[in-house]
Amino acid sequence: MAQRRKIIIDTDPGQDDAAALMLAFASPDELDVLGLCAVAGNVPLSLTSRNVRIVCELCGQSDMPVFEGAMHPILRKQVTAEHVHGRTGLDGAELPEPTMAARSQHAVDFIVETVMREPAGSVTLCTLGPLTNVALALQMEPAIAGRVRELVMMGGGFFEGGNITPAAEFNIYVDPEAAAAVFASEIPIVMMPLDVTHQLLTRKDRVARIAALGTRPAQVLVDWLAFFERFDEEKYGSDGGPLHDPTVIAYLLKPELFSGRHCNVEIETQSQLTVGMTVVDWWRVSGRKPNAMVMRHVDADGFFDLLTERVGRL
């Protein structure tokens, strides 16, 4: 059996973040989750921390270390997305408040300490929200850039445009300075943009297969998706909404589901019109050095087969 991949998940749940956490928890043979870091994003930090712990308890992971990180972007005012995710960030299912507590250590300290302690090239960072915690960790200890195995992230868009502004995807828009620092860091990056996630629609037939599992975690996920997809169904006129964040975990489990190319990616931080845009040199016309593996295509049926099978294990 291949060695389990050591990962840190940095997240701002969010129903699709919750689905990503569930996929990771259901894959202990492949993934060794060292800890979960909450960051302000879809909702404020107090709620993202709460939501991480709710998902942990739902999945029988009450011993999982959870750390609270940045309360706001590095330079900008906080932007949240209650209009998509609801007041709590996890609207759609009635669940008890978590009984497990977050650890006292700050998430940024945990990231730095863990990456510096574990063998170089052994820890993968999985980011499902704004990149604030990772950027602050790089600021605190630049040496982590040479020790991280890979950073697999959900964020950005190019041919698909943005989802919070015409040009920008939410995770990058919230803290573009953080994103710029991460893309400049020379950490090996795998980027899951809207171009991929918009191919992964929670169609009724796909959600029905998850519901048919009949387990408590599966039903909660179905309820979350029903709430989450309503916004995108209205926006895009689609059958179901795009499932963004689980692409990060799915890539670790089955990278063959995805295809893309190495590109240079720069983050716009100055323009009022396009701030937060991921400027992807897909056609390699700039001459700038590639700094990310940018995914463009995904086997959607294979992705939902994987998600359904793993959620059935919880």
Q: What is the pLDDT of residues 214-270, one digit of tens each?
A: 999 999 999 999 887 766 666 666 678 899 999 999 999 999 999 999 999 999 999
**Is 244 known to be catalytic?**
yes
The answer to whether the CB of 48 falls within 8 A of the CB of 40 is yes
* Strands 5-11, 31-38: pairing kind: parallel
- Return d(Cα 35, Cα 7) in angstroms, integer: 8
* Strands 278-280, 265-267: pairing kind: antiparallel
Amino acid in the structure at residue 213: L
Percentage of the chain beyond pLDDT 90 is: 91
pLDDT of residue 227: 86
pLDDT of residue 228: 73
Return the residue matching tokens 């937060």.
Answer: 276
Residues 112-150: tens digit of each pLDDT: 999 999 999 999 999 999 999 999 999 999 999 999 999
Q: How far lies 195's CA from each of 199, 280, 295, in Å?
A: 7, 12, 8
Total-model pTM: 0.96
**pLDDT reading at 92 higher than 80:** yes
pLDDT of residue 119: 98
Alpha helices (H) in 128-215, listed in sequence order: 132-140, 170-174, 176-183, 194-197, 204-211
Catalytic residue, chosen from 85, 106, 244, 297, is 244
pLDDT of residue 67: 98
**pLDDT reading at 2 higher than 90:** no
- Return d(Cα 264, Cα 278) in angstroms, integer: 10
- Return d(Cα 283, Cα 273) in angstroms, integer: 23
Residues contacting residue 38 through CB under 8 Å, at least 6 positions apart: 11, 12, 45, 48, 49, 51, 52, 66, 67, 68, 69, 102, 107
pLDDT of residue 211: 97
- DSSP one-letter code for 43: S
Q: Which of 13, 255, 238, 234 is nearest to 128 (CA)?
A: 13
